[in-house]
Amino acid sequence: MKDFIVKYWLECAFTAVTGVFAWAYRKLKKRVDEQELIKQGVLAILHDRLFQAGRHYITQGYITLGELKNIEYLYTSYHNLGGNGTGTEIWERIKELPIKEGENNHGNNFN
């Protein structure tokens, strides 16, 4: 009888521990999946900003040093999050633009 009780409690304990591990794994996986979705969202926003700003400056035909530094800051974050392709192509085209000193399209000099 004692062996039966010990075996029964061991099975219950094993089941409980397994259940706790399964619950913890599901919770951790959900958190990791959510973080990946947030990363992808931030990457999409950075790509959009690079695309919009790149289109603006390339059409304009020049960029100021302050604007270039701002785009570089965006691109660095974009690249570090794993972005590449069109964002990198846009960044390379922006870097080739002539730098116009002392002007800013927003009426403020941030240089």
Rg (Cα) of the chain, in Å, rounded? Answer: 27
CB 95 within 8 A of CB 71: no
Say if 20 falls within a structural domain.
yes
List, in order, residues 6 or more apart from 93 with CB less than 8 Å away.
Answer: 54, 58
pLDDT digits (tens, 9 = 90+) for 32-83: 999 999 999 999 999 999 999 999 999 999 999 999 999 999 999 999 999 9
What is the rounded distance in angstroms from the CA atom of residue 83 to the CA atom of residue 88?
A: 8
Task: Give this prediction's pTM.
Answer: 0.73
Q: Phi first, then psi: give them for residue 63, nearest 5 degrees.
A: -150, 150
Structural domain count, the chain: 1
What is the rounded distance in angstroms from the CA atom of residue 24 to the CA atom of residue 14?
A: 15
Say if 102 falls within a structural domain.
no
Question: Residue 79: which domain range?
Answer: 2-95
Q: Band of the pLDDT at 7, cuts 50, 70, 90?
A: confident
